[in-house]
Structure 1
């Protein structure tokens, strides 16, 4: 209800109208809800009944059972007439006997363009397809002889089913052959309404994605935002969430982390939309992505093979294989030439598995092979072969796949070539458009022929699509590009049957395609979508086994992208595998090893693994010094990384000495104003500040800020970093007015340029809060402290290093201004976090214990405070 506006009283029931019974098939639930809402708002009593006729009961009797004191309104669609497996003749007879005999008792609306039984003419159905909401409502009311007076506006109106939500993100095409699952869909709807998060889990091939797709189309009108996320990896999940930011109209920069944080915050607050649905499809690794999921008023629907989602606050709903009734109904829709008993036999042989039923029934419908002969072929398969591939599936699965592949090969041989090629991408969404950009020189003849003949390519794709081996879907960024969806089960079976020499040949083709797609500039956020598309496929294309310099350059660029985009864990795994593979392939001292070391160390350092990073960087620096000398750029880069490791370990004096050596070398080699020299000067200032030499750090940061403004401009992220560093030094020197004069306008620019929820914005806001506090502007300071900490917890989590810094500030403010218990709780949590993530004797942990001693004293525990203060002083 809008503020200041009273909700209109519901109309009184219309005398003599009776109850209108709306009879609808499950897929048409949204139409039934909208029709019911239109009628109720005009005072008409409504009874909605889902049409799910049981087998063996005469259709005429079921239709008669719908009739009560008022009319029956039938919502006509293909699923309505297909429910219960009734024939067209049965419908014709029942409609003539019941509806035609009682013209005032039955009415209908049509929501389908598919031909319906001729006898429905007796119902005088009103066609609602291809109409706007107002005209559809006018025709509905006219059919039921109800006045169409305009109604007062209402905020919570049920959405018109033919209109999509305001934001609609890459939902797969609707499957017109979807069958059954009515109870599961209803349960998912109920659980999402009650709990907000539901995971559809079950074995591969059981139809989890299809069920999620059906849920979206059936219940989508209840939402303002529906966003589909391919969640096979953290990288792809982050990319899709980041792409939601502009769709929601959020003003952020280009960096993915910034966009993801803004999206999570907007969804949590329910602004600009509170009715949202996120679908995370194929999310089999909850530990990697659960922290990306937003809280808030909307819903999250997950599909996964992994029931561990229950540990992350999601309700589980298991998706089993089809019931036999569902299997038979599905097979008969997919292969109309099969009789009921034949469909039953096929379902029995294939274990009621939806994926296999879809593929097999599609092939059988176009084949003249008798079902009995096909079942005999399945019986001839050997159990050992099947179990070697997967113990999860019916024993006939491998045999069924062999038959299907032979059929594909006989009809369009190139379809098998394309299918095999796809298995050297990751399962799921296969960016085949990358293949079509490849130079043809050096390609295997079968692949070259496929890629050079558009008609042959189209025939191969169509053949795979017709048998449901792949789905054809639009590209996320460019619908004109082609993407094939390949189920992980199909991927595994096809890959397993490849001869070794063929596998090597096809892997090389896909590696070349990925390398050719490398934009070559991972530091540019505008190019990150291209890297996000490439990264999931590196493993399956076996890129680490290649000696091709272009492929190796791709690996290094992907590592840089993963670091800059905040994908530290994924980057660390790739970097570790690359180190092992390249040392064996290239040798310990190959130049590419040292370049790889730089990227790998950056990723390890980003997650706080300073000991390990220091060992790697020290070994690299020692080798490069001996081999290339102390003025070599690779050696200086390794030395700068080693200084950063020492800072992380709290060894500030050693870090300063090393940073100064790097700065001197860059000055002598490149001059005072080169960006490498300026960056080295920035790192020296960091060490100076950590040692308490604020005056020296301030002078150096002032020069660095001036140089970055001249080299990079006023709005570059590095320039904004220097403004923050300079303002921080001024504050630590007690020059609060000057610090505020620098930090306040800089914070505005950071928020405008990079976004309000970025790490840089939160750091700047914290420093401004400290400046306000020092100037005794307590109201502003308290507001800044609280807001920054709340944002950090929601965006970064409660153990992130920046969150801990902000928690210290909030604790100190609370301690001095009347909330001693909150101060004590916050400082205790900070101490525990620092001791666990760093070490008990790290300077940060020591400082946190000193702050906690003050909090204990203020909270009335002088003995505990004295004991902790002594320990902190010793530290």
Structure 2
């Protein structure tokens, strides 16, 4: 009986094993079966909804899955009840939701999304049935090779890695490979990697992984060919993981680390087992600058979201924050925003015009490949063309690089603007003095070099935008300075309705007329800090009458508002949010101005002394706010009427001309400043005398314009005239006297008269320290120049001693990374 029962037991055991194997095969199918094979190849898989175009700069986000997964399943989750999921239209009608392609694409702001490309990285992490032998170091090497092959085309792009669980360890291995192999590659991805988001990565292993190891061994007993070694490598506190962690810490100090960890236990075996798959202590890199964020989910919920819940939003917001920070840091010291003015604080946006400008700048040119987009904005003077262009520019700072603003009112203004832009682009140009008697704008060195630079930008580089403002005279050579280039967009503003003719064929046109009555009323009342929708009807009607009288012209409404504001509250600080409380009755203010309009109905606007005074007050406000272009526009309108009413030599006229010259100087328009200062200097010498402070100030400014035009001998001659009277009138230690002495020393330097320059700088530095302070920029600038005079005379020891003092002072004042500090370090 015992003999016959033994074979039966053996057959029963064998049959049980066979049945168990078949059951396990059903629940753990082989990847060799085409029905269960992954769809993605082992490579970087682009997410189509993001910007897939190749650009020289930007951010690549690379998501790396964990063990036993792939991009087809790792980032998706069964959608929530569609009928309740009103907030997620992207998931409606879908059984599964991939949060990267379905949510993240929509949620990234357009100005951020255009800089970003997103990839899934797929690698062979399968460890169950029919798995092949893999090691983490080899998986990291493959990731390194894949990213490097992509980065060869775009070495300037930054990288953000997102690793779920085991994927985070593969990322660390890849960066170690980058550290060891960078000398053999054209591109080094380690410095390109700016941030890593770890989603439940077991940096020091997982205590619960032992169950997976036993499961792998169990499957192996049934001949299912699992791969327990890849799982065993992440047991808690394994020597391998400790070595990986230590080596990664040594090379990743520049990388911003964000750790997300689970705050709920993972349930397994139908709820019979629960534990943290990766505990917080393991999911957190032990470094001071690492961020640690807990999500109220289990391990599998760190990378799967069926709706835009709070967990998804935290990861999304962190990704957006990182991309914005990387873009901003990349632009510091690199991007060029050469726009010497700002939108007026009281500017009332005409939304319809802004939308139309946006729409037209997105339309490609038909019939020309000279530039990508071009729009000509035409309208009456004062209609708001410049403000419209400025508002567009300010809203699209991140969209273009560079943005160049050209003042096109005259040839001198155009030359000066291109010189400013060339300096901003760090393009070397000849000075005016080396190119005498230029016959055409096209021969200007700055014009040539900037236009050439723009034309040579290719599809890998950022789009550029050039604004040609106030091109009212289309015969002043403007056609010669219209830029071209496949990456370019142009905005031109002009009073000439035919201005689009100077742009490439197919350019768009936008006509700016008078303001809509409601916009004009709102604009006027904003000067009184009043909301047009909240004021009483009688105030609204008064404002309406005033706007009608000036025909709803934007500049005229602006001037009317400025006059009303200045006459009603002359002693009020208009920068204060509470200044409206100090006003006299707004009704009385408006009535008084309306009566003023009636009294001067037959008198031209520019001849009204009251209007001129209000324009001067407004121009001064613009200057205090650094809005040089707006101030200039008003001073230009004021000067000719002042000459007629007050006389060319009247102090008010001369003060206005001097201040207009200052606005040109702040915009780098040195030739125009010179032309306005020369008559002021001559008149003040004749009327006030050489020793009058106003005369000395004008002469100092005129000499400064010569310096910026490299006309050193002419600048020297004026500074020599200024210094002795300044010492007598203002005092030897007065800041203006010291500034003139320092500038005279600089002219000697430029003429290689080192000893004379040294003597003057020596006279300036000690009084500057005493009067201005040892760390004042003017004091530091004089010290820097003295270092150079020592160097050029071969007195290296004296130069070194002074330089070390200067470097420490600049570090304290400007910090180590400031360009002026770095420039001084370079000069030693």
> TM-score scaled to structure 1, two decimals?
0.36
More helix as a share of residues: 1
> TM-score scaled to structure 2, two decimals?
0.38
Larger radius of gyration: 2
